[in-house]
Amino acid sequence: METIRFDYLNTFLTVARTHSFSIAAKELKTSQGTVSHHVAALEEFFDAELFKRSANGVDLTDSGVTLKDAAEKIIHQATDAKAKISSAKRTLSGTIRIVASTIPEEHILPGLIAEFQNKYSEVRFKIKAQDSLTSLSTLQANDAEFAAIGTTSGFEEKFDFIPIGEDKLVLITACNHELAKSKTVKLSEALKYSVIIREESSGTRLESEKLLEANKIAYDDLKVAFEVGSTQSVITAVSEGRGISVISSIAAAKAQAASLIKVIPIMEAKAARTLYMARPKHAMLKPSEAFWEFCKTYKFQNNAITCPKK
């Protein structure tokens, strides 16, 4: 190989970060054979072994560490140059990739993007639904320009964050549940019922755990029926009488408007939860910078229709 390709360096950095050829292949949406080929080509170019097997999978050799530092600088400088070139263009166009957790992806981004495209019609978006922590990890891996999430946990110093909406945690039950007629509920009252929860890396799950901890309730005290991967799955399970749950008030309001569940305010959940848009701290392409500035001024409105009182 006479020249170094950017995709080879990106593959190399992904293997270095994940310590695994197979995990790197999944993240890059390619085959493990392709990953091995990219690394082998780099090893041939530099005439050096870049990885060694270890108990953790694969680790960098001394030569690999040297290349990692150089590769990160090369990709950063190329990204910076591309951003500067893009900023010189008059017309905004291109594709913006956003990874998003359930509530922003389903309830905030559609309206936000529609308003942005009213002004910049040639900018396109690709949205990928993931839980909050996975979305932030994807952003860290430079596989997206933005992450719309429900928590900043553990990433506060790594990205810039701006609020794009607020909601509260509320209790939801089936329409015929014995709590359904309650005007409010204490967390302690819910402990005797089966609970349906989100996965550990969900923003809603993380905020729910904080609420329990703040009220001196151990997570192990919950009677967990089962764990699901999306808010819609929670709503479906609750509507079928499988248990109760704590979810976003934004999603809950729309589900109640459709007469799927009943929403009950939680006495201890008085403070609103902030939903965020996150971005890398380095310069971005002009369409992404314009979108970021637009997000700063966007005002989310929950347009759910409430059920008429009987």
Q: What is the pLDDT of residue 43?
A: 93
Give the CATH number of domain 169-265: 3.40.190.10
Mean pLDDT of 292-310: 70
First CA to last CA across the chain, in angstroms?
75
Q: pLDDT tens digits for 223-248?
A: 889 999 888 999 999 999 999 999 98
Q: What is the pLDDT of residue 310?
A: 47
Q: pLDDT tens digits for 175-199?
A: 999 999 999 999 888 888 999 998 8
Q: What are phi and psi of 133, to 5 degrees?
A: -70, -40
Pick 94-166+273-297's CATH classification: 3.40.1410.10, 3.90.230.10, 3.30.460.80, 3.40.190.10.
Answer: 3.40.190.10
- Give CA–CA dist 113/105, Å, rounded: 11
Q: What is the pLDDT of residue 301?
A: 67
Angle at alpha carbon of residue 145, lines to 278 and 285, rounded to 5°: 115
Domain coordinates in residue numbering, the chain: 6-87, 94-166+273-297, 169-265
Burial class (CB in 10 A: 0-12, 13-18, 19+), 36: middle
- Give CA–CA dist 107/114, Å, rounded: 12
Beta bridge partners of 51: 60
CATH topology of domain 6-87: Arc Repressor Mutant, subunit A (1.10.10)
- Give CA–CA dist 195/204, Å, rounded: 14
For the cut 90, the answer to whether the pLDDT of residue 97 exceeds it is yes
Calculate the average pLDDT of the chain: 89
- Give CA–CA dist 224/72, Å, rounded: 44
Q: What is the pLDDT of residue 84?
A: 74
- Coil, helix or strand for 96? strand
**pTM (2 d.p.):** 0.60
Mean pLDDT of 91-109: 90
Q: pLDDT tens digits for 122-171?
A: 999 999 999 888 999 999 999 999 999 988 878 888 999 999 998 889 99
Q: Do domains 94-166+273-297 and 169-265 have the same CATH topology?
A: yes
Do β-strands 94-100 and 123-129 pair in parallel, antiparallel, or remain unpaired? parallel
Mean pLDDT of 262-288: 90
Q: What is the pLDDT of residue 34?
A: 94
Q: What percent of the chain has pLDDT over 90?
A: 57
Kindly state the helix (H) or strand (E) to which residue 300 belongs, with its residue range.
Answer: none
Q: pLDDT tens digits for 18-59?
A: 999 999 999 999 999 999 999 999 999 999 999 999 888 999
Contacts of 209 (CB under 8 A, 6+ apart): 219
Place of tokens 């509530």: 103
